[in-house]
Structure 1
């Protein structure tokens, strides 16, 4: 606390070396997003799939937080969360959102505005099954956005769940061993970039939306009873998908690509959805 506090008004950087011109971009914003996403991954930016998600309550009170992109394509930009969280309550009352991908290291950002639809149970289960065992337990342990007495409460709940659903890799280390020769089994890798297949739109209303119901995220496990809120098995180690956990797709009505330029004369190209397709327009910086 002895160091002097920097004056943010004196912090300046000139954005050099990039440009974004109409003649250089594809007609589809998802194609340009995919190219930019590949650029930031190749450049080694930390958490390239981190995005700021902004929502608003029924009363119009805004809130924002960073979440992780878990898929993109014609069906929208996907993320997953606890369905009793503040963000889920906002989306139940006001199913619209904005996203920002803050790729500062490349003097770029992407802004998305659109409606939000819940993913299907099958889509939720498919993604939940790919999560590490600890993350699956964490989804059960955390009653997200609720006030708790202390970290000890959270850790005790996690330990109880870990005892019920042990990590199969720890119980049988040989299960994770690679075959002779060190090669990875075919089909064991995750698709690069996490992209959603073309045409993989999430069917509207196909999953139960977050309706503000408080399922028992921390239900007692004593006596061997199945915890309240278990929707299905199928996760690694047999951890079931909680029925209070799932995903959303932000289906864009506009996607803006921002490229920093010198003298604050930045390039801003916005794709705006119309009935006949996407319209590309330049915005003043």
Structure 2
């Protein structure tokens, strides 16, 4: 019996639709993730590497997106901040398990403007702003008590609602050069649609499918 006659009931899942650019499709998938994922649908694995090629990866939260790129925020003196500044290339991987979908984004990275970083920092809760200002992210910490003492010190210096953004804390925007959409299908006959920027055509997208 052939696979086409053995496919289960969910085999009718529609293939990923063709498109001229990746942004509308990403927004549609993100909207479904927001509606269906139980926790942090904007969580994404960020992969960076050192100037000499040593990779590292960690989860961050996507805090902005448009046709310019994908924005996240961090302490620029952290490990990821230092790697992004020394090698401004990175990759993102969104995985929405309940939807059985994944999106991979690769490209170069730039700092967002100070105004953008100020606006986002001000939107965070006071506690989150204080914690960020008190943290020497990624550097050795002798004990939790030491961090608690730094938090108390920052609180004492900023008794009101205003907590200024530390100068070393800000946002990065990943400028996509390649975006791949992956969708689970029966028998591991997964659907993969990739978009790549064609520099020869002034940054227009070219698209195609990949074998699973």
Tell whether 2:211 aligns with 1:252: no
Tell me the TM-score normalised to structure 1 length. 0.68
Distance in 1 of aligned mates of 2:122 and 2:115: 11
* Partner residue, 2:80: 87
Tell whether 2:75 aligns with 1:104: no
When residues 15 and 268 of structure 1 are mapped into structure 2, their CA distance, relative to the original with a 3 A threshold, is farther
CA RMSD between the two structures = 1.5
Rg: which structure is higher?
A: 1
* Partner residue, 1:128: 121
For residue 15 of structure 1, report the CA deviation from its aligned partner. Answer: 11
The question of whether the paired residues in 2 share the 8 Å contact of 1:257 and 1:270 is answered with yes
Q: 1:160 aligns with which of 153, 166, 171?
A: 153
Tell whether 2:25 aligns with 1:19: no
* Partner residue, 1:65: 58
The question of whether the paired residues in 2 share the 8 Å contact of 1:56 and 1:91 is answered with yes
* Partner residue, 1:239: 163
Q: Deviations over 1:40-84 (max 9, x none)?
A: 111143110000000000111000000000011111000000010
Distance in 1 of aligned mates of 2:9 and 2:207: 24
Q: Secondary structure at the match of 1:109?
A: strand
1:67-216 pair list within 5 angstroms: 67-166=60-159, 168=160
Runs of 5+ in structure 1 lacking a partner?
1-13, 169-236
Distance in 2 of aligned mates of 1:77 and 1:20: 25
The question of whether the paired residues in 1 share the 8 Å contact of 2:42 and 2:62 is answered with yes
Distance in 1 of aligned mates of 2:15 and 2:179: 14
Distance in 2 of aligned mates of 1:75 and 1:15: 39
Distance in 2 of aligned mates of 1:134 and 1:27: 43
Q: Secondary structure at the match of 2:56?
A: strand
Q: Which has the higher helix share?
A: 2
For residue 238 of structure 1, report the CA deviation from its aligned partner. Answer: 1.6
* Partner residue, 1:280: 207
The question of whether the paired residues in 1 share the 8 Å contact of 2:105 and 2:178 is answered with yes
For residue 163 of structure 1, report the CA deviation from its aligned partner. Answer: 2.1
When residues 112 and 15 of structure 1 are mapped into structure 2, their CA distance, relative to the original with a 3 A threshold, is farther
Runs of 5+ in structure 2 lacking a partner?
1-7
Distance in 2 of aligned mates of 1:16 and 1:84: 47
- Spell out structure 1 runs of 4+ moving beyond 6 A: none
For residue 20 of structure 1, report the CA deviation from its aligned partner. Answer: 2.5
For residue 30 of structure 1, report the CA deviation from its aligned partner. Answer: 0.9
